[in-house]
Amino acid sequence: MEEGTLDTIDKLLEGALDEVDGTEARYKIKSAQQLLHVLQQRHDDLDIAVEDVSDQDIIDNLRDLGYLR
């Protein structure tokens, strides 16, 4: 499986988490990871929705709105 941008960011955050000792810094990194996981879930949900859509007009509208590339 190809590694995506979100996976790369998650690995970078994990590496940063391993290197810091400060409680506040660790909290911020963990918070960023949680937000990243929310973003990944939204991305996955959108992929599923697009797979279920057969109407090209809907896909074009989602693309025009910036939800799809």
pLDDT at 1 over 50: no
**Residues spanned by the domain of 25:** 5-64
**Of the candidates 60, 65, 37, 39, which has an alpha carbon nearest to the alpha carbon of residue 50?**
60
Q: What is the pLDDT of residues 46-59, one digit of tens each?
A: 888 777 777 788 88
Give the total number of structural domains in the chain: 1
Q: What is the mean pLDDT of residues 39-66?
A: 83
Q: What is the mean pLDDT of residues 8-30?
A: 95
pLDDT at 28 over 90: yes
Q: Which burial class, exposed, middle or buried, applies to 29 when counting CB atoms under 10 A from its CB (0-12, 13-18, 19+)?
A: buried
Question: Rounded distance, CA 49 to CA 52, Å?
Answer: 5
| Residue 9 falls inside a structural domain | yes
For the CA atoms of the chain, what is the radius of gyration?
16
| Residue 69 falls inside a structural domain | no
* Entry pTM: 0.68
**Of the candidates 46, 44, 64, which has an alpha carbon nearest to the alpha carbon of residue 4?**
44
Q: What is the mean pLDDT of residues 3-13?
A: 90
